[in-house]
Structure 1
Amino acid sequence: MTRLMTTDFPAMKFSHPDITAKGERRAAVDFQQLDTLWINTGTLCNIECANCYIHSSPTEDRLSYITAAEVTAYLDEIATERLSTREIGFTGGEPFMNPDIFGMVEDVLRRGHEALILTNAMQPMMRPRCREELRRLKATYGASLRLRVSLDHYTEELHELERGKGSFASTMEGLRFLAREGFALAVAGRMRSGEQEAEERAGFAALFAREKIAVDASNHGSLVLFPEMDEKAEVPEITTACWGILHVDPESLMCATSRMVVKRKGEAAPRVVACTLLPDDLQFDLGSTLAESFRPVKLNHRHCAKFCVLGGGSCSAA
C-alpha cells in the first residue's frame, strides 16, 4: 500500500476524507450512472429493532415524511435529464406509515420505472386500505411493483431477538398475504455470526416451502442476506490498494449507481445522500438535486467498509 508523505495522519479511523489512520490513501467510488434512486419515506416505524441500520422507531422522526410533490420533483429531473434510472426504491422507517406512499409509488409506476418497497409487512401494510391499494397497483402495473419483506431469520426466536415479541407471526401473516395475492416478492434476512450462508438459505427454503411462499432461497436477489452490523466491532479502513487485494470492483458498490433522497426534520427541502445507510453523516450529503450528487464518494465510514466492501451488501434488487 502507498503511504502518503505527510506527518499529518489522522489520529482516529474514519476521521479524514482522504487519508486513513495509517497514512494511506483512502478509497473512493466514482459515480457511473443512476440505476436506482432510493426515497427515504421517514424514520418513523411501527417497531424498534435492536440493530436497525438507520435507527428507526415509533418516536424517531429525525427524517420527516417526504411528500409526493417532493418526490415528483426528482422524478421530473430524471425525465428531463433522460437518466437511465430503472428502479425507484422506498425505504424507511416503515414506508407504509407515510400517508403519501401510494401516490408516490403510483407516480413511479406510471412513468415506467420499477418500484421496490422495503417493508416489515406488519400492521401498517396490513390495514384494509393498504391491502386494497396494493391489489389495485398490482392489477394495473403487475410485476413492476415489487416488495421486499424484512425477515431477519427463519426461526421465530432469532427474528424476535432483533425485532421483538410477536413480530415473527405478524410479519409471516403479511408475507403469506403477499404470496397468496401473487405479488412480485423478495425477502431480506441477516447473516448471523457463526452461521454459514448455505445453512441459512436452507433454513429459509424450508420455511418458504412450509408456508407456500414463492421465494427462491437460493437466488441472491430473491433472498437477500445482509451482513450482520456491529457498530462496536473493529473495522478496517478501505484504501486504494484494497480493490486489488480484495478483488472488489468499485463499480459494484451501491454508491456507484444509486443515491437516496431524504427529508431532514426542520429543513425546507429534501437532500440527496450517497447511501441508504448514511442519511445523517453530512460528508455524504451531496446536494439538493440529483445532478449535484453525481460525484465521487469517499469511503470514510465504517459502514462503507463493513457493509459494502467487505460484506458485499447492496440494497438494490439487482
Structure 2
Amino acid sequence: MSVTARPAPPLDPAKFRDPRLTAKGEERAQVRLAALRTLWVNTGTLCNITCRHCYIESSPRNDALAYLGAAELEAYLAEIDREALPVEEVGFTGGEPFLNRDLPRMLEAVLARGLRALVLTNAMKPMRNHAAALLALRAAHGDRLTLRVSLDHHTAALHDQERQEGSFAQALAGLGWLARQGFHLHVAGRAGFGAEGEAAMRAGFARLFAAHGIPVDAADPVALMLFPEMDAGIDVPEITTACWGILRKSPESLMCASSRMVVKRRGAARPAVLACTLLPYDPQFELGATLAEAARPVPLNHPHCAKFCVLGGAACSR
C-alpha cells in the first residue's frame, strides 16, 4: 500500500513579523557575533544558468547584487588587518563567482594575507575561462584555496532537473579538471533531493567520486555538504530564547555567530554588510557599511533562520 505524503502547511502569516517577539509573544532568540571567523563576499547575482529553486534567484539577467570590485574588498581586508579581527577564511559566492573578472585579484589579496579562501562554483565554463589564473593561485598558495562545486545530486537526471539539461556533465568535467590539477575540493549537494535519505545520498556520491577519480570523502560532512531545502513559504516553528535549552543547541553554532557577508546592491554607492549568506534581500538583515557596524546581534526573524540554521543544523562554511 502506498502512502501519499501530505503537503507541508503554509507559513503562518503572524510569524516572523516582530524582531523582538514571536507570534505567541515569547522572546525571540538572537545571536551575538562571538568572533568574526568567516567573511563572505557575494561577487554578484549574475549566473550562467538559471536553477529552479535558487534561494538568491541568480540568473543571466538578475544583477540585483552587482559585481563587487577588488578595491572594495580591499577596504574590508584592511579593516580586518587594522582591527586585528580573527578572520580565518574568506568565502566567495554568487551568482557564479567566476563571472566576476576581479575574482582572481580578490583571491590573491585574500591568500597573500595568509587567509584561507573558499569559492562556491558550478565548475562550468566561467570557471574554466580562469584556468590559468587558478593554476597560478594553486601554485602559489596550495590548499589554502578550496573550490566547492555544486552537484545537487549524484545522478545527471536529477541534477539537470534542478539546473538545466547538460549541466551535470559540464560540472563533472570541471570537477574532474580541478581534481587532476590537484586543487583542494569540496562538493555541495542537497539533502533528501530525490527522496533519498542522507546515507543513500552519501553512498551515491561516493560511487560517483570513485568512478571519476574525485578526491572527496563523501562521508565527511564538510567535504560533502548536504544542505537542507529552503522554502520560506512553508510553516516552521519560531525560535525563542527557551529553544536553546530545549534543543540543546548553542547560539554560537549558528553562522551569524561567526560570519558576515559583503554585498554590493545595484545602484548603491558602496557595499553593505549582511548578517549571513541566506538573506541577501531582507533589509532587516543589513547591518551596516563596515564590519564594526555589523557586529551587532542578529534576531532570528526569518524562516531560514529556523529551518536551515537552527533545526537543519546547516552552515555555509566549515
Q: TM-score range by the shorter chain?
A: over 0.9
Matched residue SS, 1:149: strand
CA deviation after TM superposition for structure 1 residue 232, in Å? 2.6
Q: Percent of aligned pairs with the same residue? A: 61
Distance across 2 between alignment mates of 1:14 and 1:121: 36
Matched, 1:88 2:94: no
Aligned to 1:204: 205
Aligned to 2:191: 191
Matched residue SS, 1:102: helix
Amino acid at match of 2:115: H
Deviations 1:34-70 (A, max 9, x none): 1000000000000111111211110000000000000
Gaps of 5+ in 1: 1-9
Aligned to 2:143: 143
- TM-score w.r.t. length of structure 1: 0.95
CA deviation after TM superposition for structure 1 residue 79, in Å? 0.2
Amino acid at match of 1:239: T
Aligned to 1:72: 74
Amino acid at match of 1:180: R
- 1:17, 1:298 within 8 Å by CA — same for their partners in 2? yes
Distance across 2 between alignment mates of 1:152 and 1:221: 15
Deviations 1:146-200 (A, max 9, x none): 1000000001111111111111001001000001101000000001253211111
Amino acid at match of 1:17: P
Aligned to 2:177: 177
CA deviation after TM superposition for structure 1 residue 231, in Å? 3.0
Gaps of 5+ in 2: 1-11
Q: Which moved more, 1:224-233 or 1:69-78?
A: 224-233
- 1:32, 1:257 within 8 Å by CA — same for their partners in 2? yes
- 1:11, 1:21 within 8 Å by CA — same for their partners in 2? no
- TM-score w.r.t. length of structure 2: 0.95
Matched residue SS, 1:148: strand
Distance across 2 between alignment mates of 1:141 and 1:13: 47
* Equivalent in 25, 28, 44 of residue 27 of structure 2: 25
Aligned to 2:158: 158
Q: RMSD between aligned alpha carbons?
A: 1.1
Distance across 2 between alignment mates of 1:305 and 1:282: 18
Q: How does 1:252-271 map to 2 (within 5 A)?
A: 252-271=253-272
Aligned to 1:133: 133
Distance across 2 between alignment mates of 1:296 and 1:56: 28
Matched residue SS, 2:231: coil
CA deviation after TM superposition for structure 1 residue 11, in Å? 6.6
Matched residue SS, 1:290: coil
Amino acid at match of 1:220: P
* Equivalent in 18, 27, 35 of residue 16 of structure 1: 18
State the number of aligned residues.
306
Aligned to 2:46: 44
- In the TM superposition, structure 1's runs of 4+ consecutive aligned residues that sit over 3 Å from their partners are none
Amino acid at match of 2:134: L
Amino acid at match of 2:87: T
Distance across 2 between alignment mates of 1:162 and 1:61: 21
Aligned to 1:5: none
- 1:227, 1:311 within 8 Å by CA — same for their partners in 2? yes
Matched residue SS, 2:92: strand
CA deviation after TM superposition for structure 1 residue 279, in Å? 1.3
Deviations 1:60-108 (A, max 9, x none): 0000000000000000000000111100000000000001000100000
Matched, 1:232 2:249: no
